[in-house]
Amino acid sequence: MNIDLNTLVTVITLAGAAYFAIAYFRVRLNEKLNNMARHQDDLVKDLYSENEKMWQRIVALEKMCRVSESKTEKNYYNTGV
């Protein structure tokens, strides 16, 4: 049984094309996954930044409340009504 040269060239060409097509799609998929991971990291960074700002505001409010508790004047907010 003889294998025709055209058949051999066609099979090798198709195998090469399939190899490069798979490599191309793997690179594209890897690029998309890296972009998604980078975007997620940016969102986590923003979340922690907002959390830190919130805690700074809470601490500032607690300090303000301590200062207002030490004053002797009473108002609606510190009379316990």
Rounded-to-integer distance, Cα 62 and Cα 68, Å: 10
Q: Quick one: tokens of 15?
A: 């195998």
In 3-state terms, what secondary structure has residue 78? coil
Q: Quick one: tokens of 33?
A: 């996954």
Which ranges in the chain belong to alpha helices (H)? 5-70
- Tell me if the pTM is above 0.85: no
Type of residue found at 41: D
Query: What dihedral angle (degrees, nearest 10) is formed by the CA atoms of 33, 36, 41, 42?
Result: 150
pLDDT 10s digits, 10-62: 999 999 999 999 999 999 999 999 999 999 999 999 999 999 999 999 999 88
pLDDT at 3 over 90: no
Reported confidence tier of residue 71, pLDDT bands at 50, 70, 90: low
